[in-house]
Amino acid sequence: FCADHVSSLILLLENAEMSAVERAYLHVPLAYLEGQGVVSREERKQHMLRAALQLYQIRPEDKDPESTGLLALAINSVISPGELGYASRAQQLLLPESSSPYRAHHDSNATLFTFGKSILAHALDSHPRHPHLLHMWIHLLDSPGHAEEGVRLGRADDYAVSAEGAWHARHMPSHLALRLGNWTGVVRANLDALSASLRYISSSQRFDDLPSLVDSHSMEFLHYGYVQTGQFEKAESLLQQQIGFRHWTRVNLMATRQYPAVAELITTYLSP
């Protein structure tokens, strides 16, 4: 979205007839989009977090689990991987005094990560197969020291089952598998994602869109899994295919960060 488009959208929404809940939902993405090119990305993430928290306060998960998922998304966006324990610079965020059961999870010593995990866990108790909640659960626990908990509770696999026709849902368990060095699990999940993509291509007859519909993100994970399990011929074959689709460069391949020889191989393929 360019700044003009965002301004026009805000003006349109201000004059539109909608409920307070609908307006609160729309305010979450707009809080992030507004100020592009003027306000820093990190500051706009904080604006989105505040908007998501306001939505959550009027639509707690017992009424609408989507509000919990959206707040978890906003929390995850402001958590910095470089900070110890994934504690956030925004951890002093204060909730208004209320009888909310989540207040106890968010005292002055709590991290935003802990708060996000607690609201997701509570919502998942009531909505155990909700795809959005499960998706956000994986992303929030996609970090050192937390991935094991995500796998132990089985929610990563639950997401893959809850939306089994979606390639991204089939791919997501590999985020936690990768953190734990479960390379067989990484390969399996992303082969499942590839199968889901191919089934969609076949059923929709969109064969001309093959390069865009075979997801490069899950194939990057698959390539890394092949390398880590010593399946170098499969890794090279996949590499050639994706370079043909112009999906990959030596910069964004996981394997190049650990294996210089792979970077040299990619350079060879990309050379005129």
Residue 200 pLDDT = 78
Residues of the chain with pLDDT under 50: 82-110, 250-251, 272
| Exposure class string for 20-59: b at 16+ Cβ within 10 A, else e | eeeebbbbbbbbbbbeeeeeeeeebbbbbbbbbbbbbeeb
**Please, are residues 239 and 266 in contact by the beta-carbon 8 Å criterion?**
yes
State which amino acid sits at residue 242: Q
Give CA separation, 186 vs 81, 140, 226, 260, 272, in Å: 21, 18, 9, 21, 33
Give every CB contact of residue 12 below 8 A, 6+ residues apart in sequence: none
63: its two tokens: 């009424």
| The model scores a pTM over 0.75 | yes
Residue 231 pLDDT = 95
pLDDT digits (tens, 9 = 90+) for 3-18: 667 777 777 777 788 8
From CA 10, how far away is CA 250, in angstroms rounded? 40
84 phi and psi angles, rounded to 5 deg: -55, 125
